[in-house]
Structure 1
Amino acid sequence: MRPNAQRPRRVLVIEDEAALGSLVKANLESEGFHAALEGDGEAGLAAHAREAADLIVLDLSLPGMDGLEVLRTLRRRQDKVPVLILTARSGSDDRIQGLSYGADDYLAKPFAMLELTARIRAILRRAAPEEEGRRMARSGPYRIDYLHLSVHRGRTDTLLSLREFRLLEVLLAHPGRVHGRQDLVNLAWEADAHPTLRTVDKHINALRKKLGDSDENPAIQTLEREGYRWTLPVKW
């Protein structure tokens, strides 16, 4: 059982588009989070005051008090709750402004739900790695060390690059699920990076080589027109 299984992490979504907010909330709940939804900034701040969130997903274009003012209010109160800005504003000025006010990450609409969930998990690990608990995983012959970005197999310890480890992390999060190349770009690269799909293949091949992965019984299976999947059960 994962260490945080006793207490689902609480994510507060502040989003005035009801349909989108409900979709995000439902997706987070399906991923094991405790999610709450508020439609404006003042209601969001009040909800956070009643029951502190572990992370806030914050839209910028809110009625009344906009997202930036919500963020400024939190930081003026010395509240260090992690904040992921979710907005249709894709300009770099808005992104820089949000991050300068203390946001932890920025995701522009439209977005993939898988990417949103992956970014939330990454922020929570950075904010409280002990509580998030995903420091070591076991899968087949491998022990994956999240703290040192390394993989142990038998007596061999292999250090992965950050990109290789991000790819491995995405695959391990959903063993058996096929991840298309574009999905891997969304989940394992920064929002402002634009690698080619061939670049994904090159990094996967480098990762497989470091893992000593065999073609006969691969841990990372290649499905030519679909993408890649992790074939082994994972224990945390």
Structure 2
Amino acid sequence: MPTTPRPPTGRAPPSLLVVDDDVRVRTVVAWQLEAEGYVVREAADGRSARRGIAEQRPDLVVLDLSLPGIGGLDLLRGLRDAGDALPVVVLSGRSGEGDRITGLDLGADDYLVKPFSPGELAARVRSVLRRSGGGTAPRPVPATGLRVDPATRDVELDGHPVQLTAREFDLLAFLVARPRQVFTRAQLLEQVWSSSSGWQSDATVTEHVHRLRHKLGRGRVATVRGVGYRFEP
């Protein structure tokens, strides 16, 4: 099956959260999206999805509407009411026009009805990510004097170029795209280094944070004692 090229070496692949109470659907979707080069996590209900978004913010959510507990529409409504523009592709068994209109009116970026083509879902995910800048361009950096350009991989501080290694840039770009969100060292290893197997240690993250602080100043990458790090705009 043809797939899109994987993200270039040195750049963390976009992370996706697949939310569906049917394990078979999650398995098919995860298989397809992982084949496309994405990092995929799963949630079986709205409560787990809400927790996953808060703790390990994805670049996009694939969301079923018929979920136990917190429904998909309620989850979507909660995101948009809070001003959160997190991209959401609805994947639903509800084929009625009213449900589709409701989902789009609530702020879904796209809507696909079951049964579905995994290839079409992947194409829609790619399209939404391109429109939102997910996985290739972080949100504008809310910090005076700091500019991060993911397309050219350039960093400027107060108008002066800052020389970063490939992995230093990946770490900075990942944190900048998620201001004030706290990540453990293990999460950063998985997201930025694409490693959860233990061949990289927590000390790797600590050393790279130390280097960023040396080059950018201590205030921007903050330590949350006993937890991990966050970008402080």
TM-score scaled by length of structure 1: 0.53
Deviations 1:7-52 (A, max 9, x none): 1101100100011111211211111000000000010010010011
RMSD: 2.1
Deviations 1:93-133 (A, max 9, x none): 0000000001000000001111000000000001117926x
Paired position in structure 2 for 1:104: 109
The sequence identity of aligned pairs, in percent, is: 45
Matches within 5 A, 1:58-73: 58-73=63-78
**Conserved in 2, the CA contact under 8 Å of 1:4 and 1:131?**
no
Tell me, what secondary structure is at the counterpart of 1:131? coil
Paired position in structure 2 for 1:21: 26
Distance 2:32 2:105 in 1: 29
Deviation at 1:2, TM superposition (A): 7.2
Paired position in structure 2 for 1:188: none
**Conserved in 1, the CA contact under 8 Å of 2:16 and 2:62?**
yes
2:89 aligned residue (81, 84, 106): 84
User: Runs of at least 4 residues of structure 1 off by over 3 A?
Assistant: 1-5
**Conserved in 1, the CA contact under 8 Å of 2:62 and 2:91?**
yes
Distance 2:83 2:57 in 1: 13
**Conserved in 1, the CA contact under 8 Å of 2:7 and 2:13?**
no
2:57 aligned residue (52, 57, 76): 52
Paired position in structure 2 for 1:199: none
Deviation at 1:4, TM superposition (A): 5.4
Tell me, what secondary structure is at the counterpart of 1:93? helix
Distance 1:108 1:114 in 2: 13
1:125 aligned residue (130, 137, 160): 130
Distance 1:129 1:67 in 2: 21
Deviations 1:68-103 (A, max 9, x none): 000011112211110000001111100000000010
2:119 aligned residue (114, 126, 149): 114
Distance 1:19 1:51, change over 3 A: same
Distance 1:115 1:130, change over 3 A: closer
Give the letter aligned to residue 18 of structure 1.
Answer: V
**Conserved in 1, the CA contact under 8 Å of 2:18 and 2:40?**
yes
Paired position in structure 2 for 1:12: 17
Deviations 1:128-185 (A, max 9, x none): 17926xxxxxxxxxxxxxxxxxxxxxxxxxxxxxxxxxxxxxxxxxxxxxxxxxxxxx
Tell me, what secondary structure is at the counterpart of 2:136? helix
**Conserved in 1, the CA contact under 8 Å of 2:60 and 2:134?**
no
Distance 2:41 2:135 in 1: 24
Give the letter aligned to residue 94 of structure 1.
Answer: D
Distance 1:130 1:33 in 2: 9
Tell me, what secondary structure is at the counterpart of 1:96? helix
List alignment gaps of at least 5 residues for structure 1: 133-236
